[in-house]
Amino acid sequence: MSFDLARVTSELATGEIIWSLHYEPVCDSTQDLARAAAVSGAAPGWTVTTDLQRRGRGRHGRSWTAPAGQALLFSTVLRPPVDVLPLMPLLAAVTVAGGVELSTGAAPELKWPNDVLLNGKKLAGILLERPPGSSVILGVGLNVNQSAAELSEGATSLAIELGHSVSREGLLAAILNDLGNAYERADREGVDWILPGWRSRTSMLGKPVTFRRNGMLLRGLAEDIGLDGALLVRTSDGTRVSVVAGDVELVRLE
């Protein structure tokens, strides 16, 4: 079913971010459309969604695929204040999970840096890119109505977990509203609430993790998140390592 943009617009709250919604039935990647818009001066809040991406991309150069019309795929132009910038991966994950919960009642868990899980399986992926200039492009791929056969191993969809199909429009409105609220809260209160917000949605702290850095597999205990958003891991020799999202290709919970 094609996407009902008017329904999303009618459910959006107006606040600090003025949302400007766009829809392309098919595109290579919504990230490319949002990057092009940002480079030509689009204001924060410019958002594009699609039914089908021909060349959807994930983190670390991986591809991101979803059957037509079954997933929520969108990219948004943002211009976060400097203090929010390093915490954007965590903030984005918190707002995607918050939007899913508001819209469906399902309470996703977060896996550092910004995977959104439901019942231990990947529900959504988040990609942050920086085109030239001061914008950040937030890309979200959320598995909504895919069947198990349409997903890769280790992934799930809302329809599978909830047992009924879910409106992509309602999800997009809820996620953007949560993002808008987060922006306003950061302006009012600063960024101190972002880490507690992320911690309250993860169960990975205190658990053993494996991560790959510079081609080497390392093991340790995920102790906490640093003020800069890094994952703090205590390795087996007692050293505390600060793991930065861009540095690692894999973080596996054991």
- Residue ranges that bind ligand BTN, judged by CB under 6 A: 29-31, 53, 56-59, 62, 64, 73-75, 125-127, 139-141
- Are 166 and 158 contacting, i.e. CB atoms less than 8 angstroms apart? yes
Shortest Å, Cβ 154 to ligand BTN: 11
Minimum CB separation of residue 59 from ligand BTN in Å reads 4
* Token pair of 89 as six digits: 């991966």
Nearer to ligand BTN, 119 or 235 (CB): 119
The least CB distance from residue 237 to ligand BTN, in Å, is: 31
Q: Are 194 and 87 in contact (CB under 8 A)?
A: yes
Rounded to whole angstroms, the Cα distance separating 28 from 31 reads 9
**Closest CB to ligand BTN among residues 117, 160:** 117
Q: How open is the CA angle 249-84-13, to the nearest 5 degrees?
A: 110
Task: Give the integer Cα–Cα distance in Å for 202 and 225.
Answer: 11
For 119-154, letters b (16+ CB in 10 Å) and e give eeebbbbbbbbebeeebbbbbbbbbbbbeeebbeee
- Could you give the 3-state DSSP secondary structure of residue 53? strand
Q: Which is nearer to ligand BTN, 98 or 141 (CB)?
A: 141
Question: Which residue in 152, 89, 81, 161 sits closest to 120, CA to CA?
Answer: 161
The least CB distance from residue 53 to ligand BTN, in Å, is 6
Closest approach, Cβ 246 to ligand BTN, in A, equals 13
Judged by beta carbon, residue 190 or residue 246, the one nearer ligand BTN is 246
User: Residue 84 or 155: which CB sits closer to ligand BTN?
Assistant: 155
Least distance to ligand BTN, CB of residue 92, Å: 10
> Closer CB to ligand BTN, residue 58 or residue 69?
58
- Residue with smallest beta-carbon separation from ligand BTN: 125
Please list the alpha-helical segments (H only) found in 84-191. Answer: 88-104, 158-162, 168-189
Chain centroid offset of residue 40 CA = 24
DSSP 80-97: --TTTGGGHHHHHHHHHH
Comparing CB distances to ligand BTN, the nearer of 74 and 183 is 74
